[in-house]
Amino acid sequence: MGATTAERAAMRRALELAAQVPARGPNPRVGCVLLDADDSTISEGFHRGAGTPHAEVEALRRASESRGPGAARGATAVVTLEPCNHHGRTGPCVDALLGAGVARVVHAQQDPNPAASGGAARLRAAGVDVLGSVLADEARALNATWSRALELGRPVVTWKVASTLDGRAAAADGTSRWITGRAARHGVHRLRAGVDAVVVGTGTVLADDPDLTVRHAPLTGQQPERVVVGLRDLPASSRLARAAAAGEAVMQLRTHDPHEVLDLLWYREHRHVLLEGGPALAAAFWRAGLVDDVVAYVAPVLLGNGASAVADLGIGTIADAARLDLLDVAVLPRDPEDPTDTPTVRLTLRPRKER
């Protein structure tokens, strides 16, 4: 039997519930709606992040609170993700659903996590009626970055680059504040607010002394972890060294290997990282095939000399040029109250992987 009209409506509601949580951290956003035999809603639940009850468990708890023990017996659970089948910080949702006597499970996206998948098969084996792939595209879009990370087996890497029209990231004397406009800089803070970690090289720390925190955008939860890659020591007077000394989430990885960086960040349960540079580190990630998305801020400014936005990519001929697909273009206007501000063009791109 396919999904009923009530079940599809409940799935849309479950997607709305899941979307209340920021798309950060190691766990997906998941919503659940329990329906009784008359297609009326018994209860709802959504997952609030790692270590908290999963959506199904939360919905079952609320059902018991509102209608008493056994409230979910014979019910239909409508869930945006295939119920998990493993022990992590919490127990398997499959166990909770079976224990509650749920008769039917309708889920959207199949779980791409090999450690957690198999829930649908186990439910079927226990006699539960299971229907999958209901509004699956919408569910995947809700957890697009998380899903990509699970499929890649590493964090998704978004490279943020800011440059002049002639591809410079700094002037000949090393100055770079500010090439792009205020709206672009605030946009970078919104990018930071949506990732688990912000990554720069030691050269950027020495040249720019960045803070790398979210300050000009709303932030839910903790600041993203600040990560410095490279062998050189951080100056004790630098903002990041002072932040680390104060116990803030700053980490230095003494390596030049991008794969090693992502392996460690994956181990620390980071699923999305923002690569902010500089040119050498960006080139290292690119040459390793580890750049998944690019957000480029290009200002109508010419320098003619100075540091390039990216270092040598090992490309010697136009036939080997790196090509990217253009996903979005936006013009960020200058502040009319500030004559020193500049408009900036934001390009959102995705590298063309070899087919």
Decide: 157 and 195 in contact? Cβ < 8 Å: no
Q: Does the pLDDT at position 223 exceed 80?
A: yes
Q: How far apart are CA 61 and CA 48, in angstroms?
A: 15
Q: Does the annotation list 23 as a binding residue?
A: no
Q: Does the pLDDT at position 273 exceed 50?
A: yes
Q: Does the annotation list 9 as a binding residue?
A: no
Q: Does the annotation list 84 as a binding residue?
A: yes
Q: Does the annotation list 19 as a binding residue?
A: no
What confidence category does residue 89 fall into, taking pLDDT thresholds of 50, 70 and 90? Answer: confident
Given this model, what pLDDT does residue 354 score?
A: 59
Q: Does the annotation list 272 as a binding residue?
A: no
Domains and CATH numbers, the chain: 5-143 (3.40.140.10), 154-351 (3.40.430.10)
Q: Does the annotation list 75 as a binding residue?
A: no
**Which of 7, 44, 56, 82 is an active site residue?**
56
Given this model, what pLDDT does residue 355 score?
A: 43
Average pLDDT on 171-195 reads 94
Decide: 222 and 249 in contact? Cβ < 8 Å: yes
Decide: 348 and 328 in contact? Cβ < 8 Å: yes
Given this model, what pLDDT does residue 177 score?
A: 87
Q: Based on the residue annotation, tell me whether 56 is a catalytic residue of this protein.
A: yes
Checking DSSP bridges between strand 293-299 and strand 344-351, what pairing results, if any?
antiparallel
For residue 42, how many C-alpha atoms fall within 13 Å in the half-sphere facing its CB?
Answer: 31
Average pLDDT on 123-140 reads 97
